[in-house]
A and B are shown apart, each in its own frame.
Chain A
Amino acid sequence: MGFTKNKAGVDTPLRTELAKKGVVWTTLDFLYNWGRRSSIWPMQFGLACCAFEMIAAACARYDIARFGAELFRASPRQADLMIISGTVTKKMAPQVVRLYNQMPEPKYALTMGACAISGGPFIDGYNVLRGIDRYIPVDVHLPGCPPRPEALLHGLMELQKKIASQEIQKTAWYQKGLKREFPIPEFGPNGLIPKFNPEVWQPSKENPRREHYGQTILVGKKLKAPDLELAAAPQPAAPGAAA
C-alpha cells in the first residue's frame, strides 16, 4: 500500500539537532496521528473462527498490547476499530452495519479472513454475504482462513500506517456534509435488500469466477434421486451395520 508520508516542514538533520537540545519540532498532524495510531481500541466482536485467532493475538504469546490495541471494548461507542473476524451471514449483516454506524468518528474497519472479505469458502451459501465491503468501507483486508495472529498484527500495523498518513485538514470526518451513516440492509424474501450499496461497492465488470467455471455458483443440479430400496440388493451390509 502506498501512503504518502507526512512532511514535517523541517529537514531531518536539523530536527535531530534540535532534539538533542531538547526542542521537539513536529507537526500537529504527526502528534495527533501518533496518539491515535498507538492506542487503537478494537471492538470486542467475534463472528466466527477468526475470532479465536483474534483472541490468541490478544493473549500473552502474541500480545497485541505491544501495538497499543489491547483494550477490546464491548461497546461500539468506545471503539475505533472494528475487526470483522469471520463469516458475515446475511442474518448478521444488518447488525454489523448498525454497529459500524454506531462507532464514533474516526473509525476504521478491518476484515479478518477470507469469509469477511468475499464469502471465502462459504461463498456459495444462500445465507452468506459475499464480503462485508458491500455495505461498509473497509480499510484493511486481511486474507487467510484463518489468518494467523501474526497476520492480524501485520494488518494492525498496516492500519497504523494508514492512520499516520492522514492529515487533519483533509480527513473526511472534519469536513462538512460527511456521509458516513450507511443504510442498514433489511431482510427480504430471498436475501438482503439491497444486495449491495452501489456507493460503497460495485461488482467488477469481469467476473473471473464465472469465466473460470462458466457459472456464478458451483451448485450443480441433480435430477435423479438415489433409490435406497433398489440398491439394497447387491450390497446388503454396507451402511449402518458396523457400530
Chain B
Amino acid sequence: MKETFNFKNAGNAETLEINFGPQHPSTHGVFRMVVQLNGEKICGLKPVFGYLHRNHEQIAENLPYAAMMPYTDRLDYVNALANNFGYALAIEKLAGLEVPERAEYIRVMMAELARVVNHITVIGFMLNDLGAFFTPLLYAFRERERILDLFEEITGSRLMCNYLRPGGVKRDLTDAHLAAIRAIVTKFPAFLKEFEALLTKNEILCMRCQNIGILPVDAATNAGITGPVLRASGVNYDIRKVDAYSIYNRFDFKIPLGQKGDAYDRYYVRVLEIRESLKILEQALAKIPQGDIVNKKAFPLLKMPRNFKPPVGEAYARIESPKGELGYYLVSDGTPQPWRYHVRAPSLINLTLLEEMCLGQKIADAIIILGSIDIVLGETDR
C-alpha cells in the first residue's frame, strides 16, 4: 500500500525524501521517521508509529486489575517501577485505598532509583547517537547493573520488576537492602563526577548539542510536553511538586531548570535530576519508618485478590515518570476487569514537536534531538 505523507513542499525537485527506520541503529527501537531533505537540511519530518503497538489497552480490558501490573512494566521498559507506581495510584484512586507509611517510602525510593537508572541510560544512549560509540554507554551500564542487581534482590527481576501492588508493595525491604541502597547513594556521586568530567565540558558534546533542537516555552506547554524536556525549556512543572502525590511533599528537593531548551540543556537537566533523586533517597533512607507494607484492612491476605472489584467510577492518576507525565485513566464498571484503560504516554506526546525542533537542522542533528527527547518505543506505541 502506498503511504502518503503530507509534506508542505512535496514535489519540489530539490528535496529528497528519505526513510529512517524502523530498523535503524539510532532510532531507539522501531521508531520510524520519514525525512524530507534539502541537501543536508531538514525541511520536513513525519514520524510513523505503531511498529511496537502491542495492544496494551485491549489486553487490559480483558484482564483482572491485579494481572495488569506486570504489563505496565513492559510499557517503558527502562524504568519499570515508575510505571507500576502510576498504575497502583490509579487503582488506589479508583477504589479509595490507603497505603501504609512504610510502603510509601519504599515506593518513593524505588521510583527514584528507577529515575536514576533511566537518566543514566538515556545519557549513555544520547552520546551513542552523538558518535561516542558505546564508550559512555559502557560506563552508564556499569552503574546501571549495580542498581539492577539491587532491584533483582528486592523484587526478583532485573528489568521487569512488577513490585508495586495496589495498596502497598510486594515485599519488605530488609536492613541489608537499605544498606545496599545507602551504598549506592554514597557511591553514585563519585561516578557522576567522573561521568561529568568526561562529558559536561567536553568540547565535542558542547558543539554538537548546544543550540540544537531548541524548544520554545510557549510551544512546549501548548504541545503538552512534559518531563525533563519541558524543564530544560525553563518551565517549572514537576508533578512531584505540583500534585505532591504519594509522600513527595515530605522531601526537600529542587527542580533543575534549563535556560535555552536545547539538547545540551536536556542532557544537563537529567544529570542534575539524578543528583536531586539521590537527595530524595538520602532523606527517605533516614526517615523510613517500620510498619506494614500492604494495606491490611483492604487486603487481609496481603495481596490484591484476583477478582477485586472496584466500585463503578473513573480515575485519572498521573506521576512524574522520568520521561514526563505518565497518566493512567481507568473506568470501572464494577466487574473484575476495567471497562476502559488508557495510558497517557509521555514518550508519544513529547514527539509532537519533533518536526518543529528538527526543521532547518542538519540530518545528523535530528538523531541527537530524538535522543535528547528520550523515547521508549514500548510506551510510545503501547
Chain A directly contacts chain B within the complex, with at least one CB pair under 8 Å: yes
Segment with Cβ contacts to A, from B179-187, B194-202, B328-336, B367-375: B328-336
Residue in B29, B141, B243, B313 whose CB lies within 8 Å of A238? B313
- Assembly CA distance A89 to B243 (angstroms): 36
B160 to chain A, nearest CB (A): 7
Q: How far is the CB of B77 from chain A (nearest CB, A)?
A: 4
- Please state if B59 and A99 are interface contacts (CB–CB under 8 Å): no
State whether A48 touches B142 (Cβ < 8 A): no
In the assembled complex, how far is the CB of residue B176 from the closest CB belonging to chain A, in whole angstroms? Answer: 22
A interface footprint on B55-66 (CB within 8 Å = 1, 0 otherwise) = 100110011000
Query: Would you call A89 and B312 a contact (CB within 8 A)?
Result: no
The one of B50, B138, B244 that contacts A59, using a Cβ cutoff of 8 Å: B138
- Judging by beta carbons under 8 Å apart, are B333 and A226 in contact? yes
* Neighbour of B141 across the interface among A61, A225, A227, CB < 8 A: A61
Whether, in the assembled complex, B307 has its beta carbon less than 8 Å from a beta carbon of chain A, the answer is: no
Q: Which residues of A contact B378 (CB under 8 A)?
A: 48-49
Closest B residue to A46 by CB, please name it: B29
Which B residues touch A55, using CB under 8 A? 137, 141
Chain A, 189-211, CB within 8 A of any chain B CB:
none
Q: From residue A183, how far is it (CB to closest CB) to chain B in Å?
A: 17
What's the interface size class on A, roughly?
Answer: 35 or more
Q: In the complex, what distance in Å separates the CA atom of A115 from the CA atom of B30?
A: 15
B53 and A239: CB pair below 8 A?
Answer: no
Which of B18-26, B166-174, B217-225 binds A? B18-26
Residues of A within 8 A of B29 (CB): 46-48, 51
Q: What total of A-B pairs shows CB separation below 8 Å?
A: 140
A127-B55 in contact (CB<8A): yes
Bound together, the chains give a CA A78 to CA B172 distance in angstroms of: 49
Q: Are B30 and A220 in contact (CB under 8 A)?
A: no
Q: Which residues of chain A in 204-229 are interfacial with respect to chain B, using CB atoms and an 8 Å cutoff?
A: 218-220, 222, 224-228
In A43-65, the 8 Å CB interface with B consists of 44-49, 51-53, 55-56, 59-61
Report whether A226 and B332 are in contact in the complex, using a CB–CB cutoff of 8 Å: yes
Shortest B242–chain A CB gap in Å is 9
Q: How far is the CB of B353 from chain A (nearest CB, A)?
A: 24
Instruction: Say what secondary structure dominates the interface of chain A.
Output: loop
- Chain A residues within an 8 Å CB radius of B342: none
Q: Report whether B23 and A226 are in contact in the complex, using a CB–CB cutoff of 8 Å.
A: no
Flag if B62 contacts A218 (CB, 8 Å). Answer: yes
Q: A59–B141 contact, CB under 8 A?
A: yes
Given contacts A226-B332, A239-B315, contact A87 B141 (CB under 8 A): no
Q: Is B71 an interface residue (CB 8 A)?
A: yes
Report whether B53 and A228 are in contact in the complex, using a CB–CB cutoff of 8 Å.
no
Verify A59–B312 contact, CB threshold 8 A.
Answer: no
Interface residues of B in 8-33 (CB under 8 A from A): 22-25, 29-30
Q: A91-B50, A127-B55 are in contact. Are A121 and B339 (CB under 8 A)?
A: no
Please tell me if B216 contacts chain A, counting CB pairs below 8 Å. Answer: no
Q: B190: CB under 8 A from chain A?
A: no
* Interface residues as binary, B89-109 with A (CB distance below 8 Å gives 1, 0 otherwise): 000011110000000000000
A-side contacts of B23, CB under 8 Å: 45, 95, 99
Binding site for B on A (CB under 8 A): 44-49, 51-53, 55-56, 59-61, 74, 86-87, 89, 91-92, 95, 99, 115, 121-122, 124-128, 145-146, 148, 187, 218-220, 222, 224-228, 231, 235, 238-240, 242-243
Pairs A–B under 8 Å by Cβ, sample size 12: A48-B74, A53-B159, A92-B30, A124-B55, A125-B55, A127-B55, A219-B62, A220-B62, A220-B337, A226-B334, A239-B94, A242-B93
Q: What are the nearest 3 A-B pairs in CB distance?
A: A125-B55, A226-B333, A231-B312
